[in-house]
């Protein structure tokens, strides 16, 4: 029997704002303005702005024309990771030089949802929402014959 558990914080949420609000010819440097503290909530529950909301988009607004925005690009983290992988192994000896190894492996054995980062593009209608997740529980069985 073997297993491994991974507990970690999420990756930083990258904020951006489509368009060229800073008027420098490139919209990739623009971020929204922060107007309220960023409220993080459980993405499993429906938030005030809809399903799978990780942070409230009302904490941000579009900055005035000609400015870059005052939000840092990555100043808070996305959903954390709580994952457990587990395996059972059994070696069956047939003769002195022959044996069979039977193995069952389960990745994310508790089937805990592992959300990816929310949408960080302020111009998107899904800003602040989690739109994808890592793979669910996966199991596999194997057998190996040694001779």
68-121 residue pLDDT tens:
777 877 788 889 899 999 999 999 999 989 999 999 999 999 998 899 999 888
Handedness of CA 26, 31, 32, 33 (dihedral sign): negative
Output b/e per residue, 52-62; b: 16+ Cβ within 10 A.
bbbbbbebbee
What tens digit of pLDDT does each residue of 15-24 get? 888 777 777 7
- pLDDT band per the 50, 70, 90 thresholds, residue 136: very high
**How many residues are listed for the chain in this entry?**
147
Determine contact, residues 85/94, Cβ cutoff 8 Å.
no
Determine contact, residues 30/108, Cβ cutoff 8 Å.
no
With CA atoms as reference, report the closest residue to 131 among 67, 50, 71. 50
Question: What is the pTM assigned to this prediction?
Answer: 0.73
Tell me the backbone φ, ψ of residue 58, rounded to 5 degrees: -70, -10
Token reading at 43: 């993405």
């Amino acid at each position: 029997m073997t297993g491994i558990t991974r507990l970690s914080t999420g990756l930083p949420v990258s904020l951006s704002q489509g368009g060229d609000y800073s008027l420098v010819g490139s919209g990739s440097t623009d971020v929204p303005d922060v107007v309220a503290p960023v409220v993080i909530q459980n993405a499993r529950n429906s938030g005030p702005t809809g399903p799978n909301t990780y942070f409230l988009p009302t904490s941000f607004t579009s900055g005035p024309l000609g400015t870059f925005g005052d939000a840092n690009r990555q100043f808070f983290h996305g959903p954390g990771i709580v994952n457990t992988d587990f395996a059972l192994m059994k070696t069956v000896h047939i003769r002195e030089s022959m044996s069979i190894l039977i193995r069952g492996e389960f990745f994310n054995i508790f089937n805990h949802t592992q959300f990816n980062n929310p949408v960080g593009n302020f111009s998107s209608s899904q800003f602040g929402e989690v739109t994808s997740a890592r793979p669910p529980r996966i199991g596999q069985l194997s057998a190996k014959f040694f001779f």
